[in-house]
Structure 1
Amino acid sequence: MLFAVFFPILLALIIPFLSKWKTTIHTGYFVLLAPLSIFIYFLQFIGTDFQTRSGSYSWIPSLNINLDFYLDGLSLLFVLLISGIGALVTFYSIFYLDTSEKLGHFYVYLLIFMTAMFGVVLSDNVFVLYTFWELTSISSFLLIGYWNFKERSRYGALKSMLITVFGGLSMLGGFIILVNITGTTSIQEMISQADVIFASPYFVLTLVLIVLGAFTKSAQFPFHIWLPDAMEAPTPVSAYLHSATMVKAGIFLIARFTPIYTLSELFFVIISGFGIITLIWGSFMAVRQTDLKGILAFSTISQLGMIMAMLGFGTKAAIFAAVFHILNHATFKGSLFMVAGIIDHESGTRDIRKLGGLMTLMPISATLAFFGTFSMAGVPLPFLNGFYSKEKFFDASLNLGESSLWIAEILRVAIPYLAVFGSIFTFVYSMYLVFGTFLGEKHLDKLPKKPHEAPIGMLIPPSILIIGVIVIGLFPNLVNESFLAFTAEAIYGKPVETHIQFWHGLIPAFYMSLIVVVVGTILALYQKKWRKVYDYFPGKLSFNRVYDWLIAKLESYSKTLTDSYMNGSIRRYMILILTAIVLVTFSVMLITGGFVIDYSDLAPITIQEVFVALAMAFAAIATIFTRNKIAAILILGVVGYGLAVLFVFYRAPDLALTQLVVETITVALFLLCFYHLPNLRERTEGIKEKSGNLIISVAFGLLMTMVAISAHSSKAFEAISQYFIETSYKLGGGDNVVNVILVDMRGIDTLFEIVVLGIAALGIYSLVKLRSKKEAE
Structure 2
Amino acid sequence: MLFAVLLPFIASIFIPFLARMKNRIHTGIFVTLIPLIVFLYFIQFIGTGFQPVTRSYTWIPSLNMNMNFYLDGLSLLFVLLISGIGTLVAFYSIYYLHKSEQLGNFYVYFLIFMGSMLGVVLSDNVFVLYSFWEFTSLSSFLLIGYWNHRRGSRYGSLKSLLITVFGGLSMLGSLVFMSVITNTTSIQQMIAQKSIILNHEFFPLILGLLLLGAFTKSAQFPFHIWLPDAMEAPTPVSAYLHSATMVKAGIYLVARYIPIFAESEWFFVVVSGFGIITLMWASYMAVRQTDLKGILAFSTISQLGMIMAMLGFGTKAAIFGAVFHILNHATFKGSLFMVAGIVDHETGSRDIRKLGGLMTFMPITATLAVLATFSMAGFPLPFLNGFYSKEMFFGATLEFEATSNALAAYLQQVLPYLAVFGSIFTFVYSMYFFFGTFRGKANVSELPKKPHEAPIGMLISPAILVLGVIVIGLFPELINKPFISHAAASIYGGDVDKHIYFWHGINLPLIMSMAVLAFGTILVLTRTKWEPIYRFIPGPLSMNKVYDGLVKRAETYSEKITKGYMNGSLGRYFRLILSAILIVTFGFMISTGGFTFSMENTAEFTAIELLVAIMMVVAAAGTIVANNRVAAIIILGVVGYGLSILFVIYRAPDLALTQLIVETVTVALFLMTFNHLPKLEVRQQPWSTKALNLIISLGFGTLMTLVAISSHSSKWFESISTYFIENSYKLGGGDNIVNVILVDMRGLDTLFEITVLGIAALGIFGMIKLRKNKKGDV
Match of 1:424 in 2: 424
**Partner SS state of residue 404, structure 2:** coil
Q: 1:707 corresponds to which residue?
A: 707
**Aligned match of 1:194:** 194
Distance 1:240 1:769 in 2: 50
Superposed displacement of residue 734, structure 1: 1.2
> In the alignment, what sits opposite 2:208?
208
State the match for 1:583 in structure 2: 583
Q: Does 175-184 or 661-670 show the bigger shift?
A: 661-670
Residue 148 of structure 1: aligned partner? 148
Once the two structures are TM-superposed, the CA of residue 688 in structure 1 deviates from its matched residue by: 1.9
Shift in Å, 1:602: 2.0
In the alignment, residue 723 of structure 1 is paired with which amino acid?
Y
| Alpha-carbon distance in 1 for matches of 2:373, 2:103 | 31
1:451 is paired with a residue of what secondary structure? Answer: coil
Structure 2 spans left out of the alignment, 5+ residues: none
Counting only pairs closer than 5 Å after superposition, residues 607-756 of structure 1 correspond to structure 2 as 607-756=607-756
Query: Residue 57 of structure 1 aligns to a residue in which SS?
Result: strand
Structure 1 letter corresponding to 2:624? I
Q: One-letter code of the match for 2:38?
A: I
- Aligned residue number for residue 222 of structure 1: 222
Work out the CA distance in 1 between the residues paired with 2:757 and 2:717: 33
Report the alpha carbon displacement of residue 771 of structure 1 after superposing the two structures with TM. Answer: 11
Shift of 1:41: 1.1
Per the TM alignment, residue 641 of structure 1 is displaced from its structure 2 partner at its CA by 1.9
The yes-or-no answer on 1:527 pairing with 2:527 is: yes
Residue aligning to 1:380:
380
Q: Which residue does 1:159 correspond to in 2?
A: 159
Mean CA deviation greater in 720-729 or 469-478: 720-729
- Superposed counterparts of 1:180-329, under 5 Å: 180-329=180-329
Please list the CA deviations of residues 611-652 of structure 1 after superposition, one character each: whole Å capped at 9, or x if unmatched. Answer: 110011001101111112222222222212211221122122
List aligned pairs for 1:9-20, cutoff 5 A: 9-20=9-20
Distance 2:276 2:767 in 1: 59
Measure how far apart 1:657 and its partner are. Answer: 2.8
**Structure-to-structure mapping, 1:530-541, within 5 angstroms:** 530-541=530-541
Length-normalised TM-score, structure 1: 0.98
Amino acid at match of 1:583: I
Distance in 1 of aligned mates of 2:85 and 2:670? 63
State the alpha-carbon separation in 1 of the partners of residues 776 and 212 from structure 2.
56
Match of 1:60 in 2: 60
* 1:539 aligned counterpart, secondary structure: coil
* Alignment coverage as a number of residue pairs: 777
Counterpart amino acid of residue 118 in structure 2:
F
Q: 1:73 and 2:73 equivalent? A: yes
* Cα pair distance change 1:313/1:767, threshold 3 Å: farther
Give the structure 2 partner of residue 341 of structure 1. Answer: 341
Q: Cα distance 1:428–1:62, how it changes in 2: closer, same or farther (>3 A)?
A: same
CA distance in structure 2 between the aligned counterparts of 1:765 and 1:658, rounded to whole angstroms:
23
Instruction: Return the alpha-carbon distance in structure 1 between the equivalents of residues 60 and 249 of structure 2.
Output: 25
* Deviation for aligned residue 1:686: 2.5
Deviates more, 1:531-540 or 1:701-710: 531-540
What is the match of residue 130 of structure 1?
130
For residues 765 and 657 of structure 1, do their structure 2 counterparts lie closer, same or farther at Cα, with a shift above 3 Å needed?
Answer: closer
**How far did 1:770 drift?**
8.9
Secondary structure in 1 aligned to 2:638?
A: helix
RMSD (Å), alpha carbons: 1.5
Q: Cα deviation per residue 1:376-401 (whole Å; 9 max; x = unaligned)?
A: 00011100000000001000100111
SS at match of 2:540: helix
The equivalent residue for 2:442 is: 442
Could you tell me which residue of structure 1 aligns to residue 169 of structure 2? 169
Letter of the aligned partner of 2:139 in structure 1? S
- TM-score, normalised by the number of residues in structure 2: 0.98
Task: Give, as a single letter, the amino acid of the residue that structure 2 aligns with 1:423.
Answer: S
Aligned-pair CA distance for 1:537: 1.7
CA separation in 1, counterparts of 2:434 and 2:421? 21
Q: CA deviation at 1:671?
A: 3.5
Question: In structure 2, what is the Cα distance between the partners aligned to 1:425 and 1:278?
Answer: 12
Deviations 1:245-273 (A, max 9, x none): 00000000000000000010000000000
- Opposite residue 569 of structure 1, the aligned amino acid is S
Name the CA distance, whole Å, in 2 between partners of 1:682 and 1:776.
37
Counterpart amino acid of 1:576? L
1:35 equivalent in structure 2:
35
1:452-601 equivalent positions in 2, closer than 5 A: 452-601=452-601
**Shift of the alpha carbon at 1:672?**
4.0
Letter of the 1:6 partner, please give it.
L
Amino acid in the other structure paired with 1:431: M
Identity among equivalent pairs (%): 68
Distance (whole Å) between structure 2 residues aligned to residue 508 and residue 195 of structure 1: 37
What are the superposed Cα offsets for residues 108-158 of structure 1, whole Å, 9 maximum, x if unpaired? 110000000000000000000000000000000011010111000010000
Q: In structure 2, what is the equivalent of residue 100 of structure 1? A: 100
SS in 2 for 1:382: coil
| Counterpart in the other structure of 1:411 | 411
Three-state SS of the structure 2 residue aligned to 1:540 is coil
Cross-structure match for 2:46: 46
Secondary structure at the residue paired with 1:379? Answer: coil
Query: What CA deviation, in whole Å up to 9, does each residue of 1:490-537 have, x standing for no partner?
Result: 000001000111000011000000000000000001000000011222
Unaligned runs of 5+ in 1: none
